[in-house]
Amino acid sequence: MKKAVVLIGGKQYVACEKETLRVDLLPAGTKKLETGALLVIDGEKISVGNPEVKGVKVSAEVVEEKVAGDKVRVIRYHSKKRVHKETGHRQKYSVIKITSIA
């Protein structure tokens, strides 16, 4: 099974064919994604690029957009002052499916 390390949105992900990945939110209207591979593992053979492996393209399609991640709670607190503030944040993600590593 081929594995590839790809750079999507400034972060590196290990991708396998027919696998789904949760990546940072992609621009609106993106349906297909094609990127180069930084590293390819094909059985015992490993190819490292400089910066990308020549001739290797990783294709993916967007399955879902704006999937909300887990809520992160942030609390500011001052002891003995009766001051506290609580806020929350839910990061938005895109779910992509790797269609081919060719």
| Domain segments of the chain as ranges | 2-101
- The residue count of the chain comes to 102
DSSP 101: E
Q: How confident is the model over 7-37, as pLDDT tens digits?
A: 999 999 999 999 999 999 999 999 999 999 9
- Closest C-alpha to 32, from 63, 4, 60: 60
Q: How confident is the model over 65-81, as pLDDT tens digits?
A: 999 999 999 999 999 99
For residue 101, with 0-12 CB atoms within 10 Å meaning exposed, 13-18 middle and 19 or more buried, which class applies?
Answer: buried
- CA-to-CA distance for 49 and 36, rounded, in angstroms? 10
- CA-to-CA distance for 4 and 2, rounded, in angstroms? 7
pTM of the model: 0.83
